[in-house]
């Protein structure tokens, strides 16, 4: 007998192995354990209804979540606008505004816009009416936030210094963005020339009130800072003098010297003799004569003609700006009594009449030189006169022949600056 020392010691019978069944036993079906029955509590109708309701709520929640996610995506997606567009939104509810924006092509899904606006806690009154500009490809969120914040279009109205109240009213009436009529022309000098921002729907009367309030505020500030030795008794005198300064020069650096000339003349009881006052006395608020001043008009008595009356005219001849008002209360410290155009857009100033005549002679020589060479270009600094008045420029014969016969020679007649329209 051979011994096999490498083989494991395996028993001949393994008790864990399946014992073979008989053919008869193999034909019998295996017995399966009978499942236990559900409890009566699980089969209760209320439990079944509750489960159904919970399942329904879960499905609705999932649906709403998906709808909200889709709506948020659409609400924040770029819009259909190809170019910037201005839309005037009237008063109305969220639905009316959404339908208007859809008709204008700003949004594509009105109901998404309504839902998004409500999600932003915007009610009808929160969507402010007005004129809005929407950028190209603006999302519905951008559109809603623009309306909620009231970022309406701002229009600009610029009124230059030196316009009369009648001219300002004409510009307000020409503006098509403003609404309403104007009851009456405001008092001369009561409007502040400036640039004003306003929105569509602003009335013309509201604009006038803004300009009057701004002018009153500026005049108070300027009057409170005036020099103590001025020959001006009241703020109305300040406005009148500033309006003359405004019409006499358009160069900012000259305003204080022009104001000093007129103030020095007032102190010495000399007539102001300002050409713009002649024009205002003839045409009033129209502002421009439309032709040169005639010699007969220089001596024509009017309440505003400072060649005839002494002192200041009875009121302003235009609406002065802040710079001219400041110049009138803080003039240059000079003894100058005359100024004449220097041919380059500015003025030559003089303290006495002889010096003034020399300045006039230089101007005449320059005019003759330019007349003899018509093809030559004018000096670069000389602006084109808005309302040239050659008839008002030649010196008076009696003044040149005998200065003593005219103890109060003109401050500006011998070539002074033309009045601006």
Interval 185-224: pLDDT, tens: 999 999 999 999 999 989 999 999 999 999 999 999 999 9
Long-range (24+ apart) CB contacts under 8 A made by 365-373 are 367/343, 370/343
Count Cβ atoms below 10 Å from residue 75 Cβ, excluding itself.
Answer: 23
Q: For 73-80, what is the mean pLDDT?
A: 88
Q: What is the dihedral of CA 147, 150, 153, 155, to 10 degrees?
A: 160
Q: Sort strands 155-158 and 130-134 into parallel, antiparallel or unpaired.
A: unpaired
Q: What is the pLDDT of residue 72?
A: 80
Q: Which residues pair with 111 in a beta bridge?
A: none
DSSP secondary structure string for all residues of 145-169 = HHHHTT-PPPEEEE--TT--HHHHH
Count Cβ atoms below 10 Å from residue 61 Cβ, excluding itself.
Answer: 10
Q: Which residues pair with 134 in a beta bridge?
A: 85
Domain coordinates in residue numbering, the chain: 85-148, 155-220, 234-405
3-state SS of the chain: helix, strand, coil percent to 5?
45, 5, 50
Q: What is the pLDDT of residue 58?
A: 77
Count Cβ atoms below 10 Å from residue 92 Cβ, excluding itself.
Answer: 14
User: Is the separation of the CB atoms in 261 and 339 below 8 Å?
Assistant: yes
DSSP 8-state class, residue 42: T
pTM of the model as a whole = 0.72
Q: What is the pLDDT of residue 384?
A: 33
Q: Which of helix, strand or coil describes residue 196?
A: strand
Residue with tokens 């919970």: 54
Compute CA distances 67 → 56, 64, 112, 122, 154, whole Å: 16, 5, 10, 20, 38
Residue 13's Cα: distance from chain center in Å? 107
Q: Which residues contact 248 (CB under 8 A, 6 or more apart)?
A: 258, 274, 276, 412, 416, 417, 419
DSSP secondary structure string for all residues of 324-354 = HHHHHHS--S----EEEE-SSSSEEEESSHH
- Alpha-carbon span 141 to 151, nearest angstrom: 14
- Alpha-carbon span 102 to 124, nearest angstrom: 17
List pLDDT tens digits, range 230-271: 999 999 999 999 999 999 988 999 999 999 999 999 999 999
List pLDDT tens digits, range 26-39: 666 666 666 666 66
Q: What is the dihedral of CA 136, 139, 143, 145, to 10 degrees?
A: -130
More confident residue, 24 or 182: 182
List pLDDT tens digits, range 388-414: 333 333 333 233 223 333 334 456 654
* Short-list 127, 131, 125, CA closest to 202: 131
| Confidence at 122, pLDDT banded by 50, 70, 90 | low
| Confidence at 375, pLDDT banded by 50, 70, 90 | low
Q: Which residues contact 186 (CB under 8 A, 6 or more apart)?
A: 165, 168, 169, 208, 211, 212
Q: Which residues pair with 87 in a beta bridge?
A: 132
Percent of the chain clearing pLDDT 90 (strictly above): 57
Q: Where are the alpha helices (DSSP H) in 225-352?
A: 235-248, 255-267, 275-283, 295-298, 322-329
Q: What is the pLDDT of residue 194?
A: 95
| Confidence at 43, pLDDT banded by 50, 70, 90 | low
User: How would CATH label the architecture of 85-148?
Assistant: 2-Layer Sandwich (3.30)
**Which value, in Å, is the radius of gyration of the alpha carbons in the chain?**
45
């Amino acid at each position: 007998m051979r011994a096999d020392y490498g083989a494991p010691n395996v028993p001949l019978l393994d008790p864990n192995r399946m014992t073979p069944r008989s053919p008869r036993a193999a034909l019998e079906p295996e017995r399966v354990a009978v499942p236990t029955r559900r409890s009566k509590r699980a089969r209760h109708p209320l439990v079944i209804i509750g489960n159904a309701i919970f399942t329904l709520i879960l499905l609705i929640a999932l649906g709403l979540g998906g709808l909200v996610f889709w709506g948020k995506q659409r609400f924040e997606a770029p819009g259909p606008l190809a170019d910037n567009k201005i839309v005037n939104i009237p008063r109305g509810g969220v639905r009316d505004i959404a339908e208007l924006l859809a008709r204008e092509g700003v949004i594509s899904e009105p109901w998404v816009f309504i839902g998004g606006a409500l999600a932003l806690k915007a009610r009808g009154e929160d969507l402010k009416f007005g004129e809005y500009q929407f950028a190209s490809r603006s999302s519905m969120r951008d559109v809603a936030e623009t309306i909620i914040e009231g970022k309406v279009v701002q229009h600009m109205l610029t009124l230059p210094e030196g316009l009369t109240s009648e001219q300002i009213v004409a510009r307000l009436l020409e503006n098509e963005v403003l609404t309403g009529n104007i009851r009456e022309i405001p008092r001369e000098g009561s409007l502040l020339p400036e640039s004003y921002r306003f929105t569509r729907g602003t009335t013309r009367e509201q604009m006038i009130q803004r300009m009057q309030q701004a002018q009153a505020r500026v005049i108070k500030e300027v009057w409170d800072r005036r020099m103590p030795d001025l020959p001006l008794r009241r703020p109305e005198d300040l406005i009148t003098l500033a309006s003359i300064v405004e019409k006499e020069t358009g160069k900012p650096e000259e305003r204080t010297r022009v104001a000093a000339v007129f103030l020095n003349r007032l102190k010495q009881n000399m007539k102001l003799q300002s050409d713009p006052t002649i024009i205002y006395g003839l045409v009033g608020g129209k502002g421009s004569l439309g032709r040169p001043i005639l010699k007969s008009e220089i001596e024509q008595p009017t309440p505003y003609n400072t060649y005839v009356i002494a002192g200041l005219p009875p009121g302003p001849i235009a609406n002065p700006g802040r710079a001219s008002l400041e110049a009138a209360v803080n003039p240059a410290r000079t003894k100058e009594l005359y100024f004449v155009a220097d041919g380059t857009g500015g003025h030559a100033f003089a303290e006495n009449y002889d010096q003034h005549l020399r300045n006039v002679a230089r101007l005449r020589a320059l005019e003759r030189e330019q007349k003899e060479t018509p093809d030559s270009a004018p000096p670069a600094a000389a602006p084109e006169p808005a309302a040239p008045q050659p008839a008002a420029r030649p010196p008076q014969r009696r003044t040149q022949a005998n200065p003593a016969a005219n103890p109060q020679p003109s401050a500006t007649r011998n070539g002074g600056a033309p009045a601006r329209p």
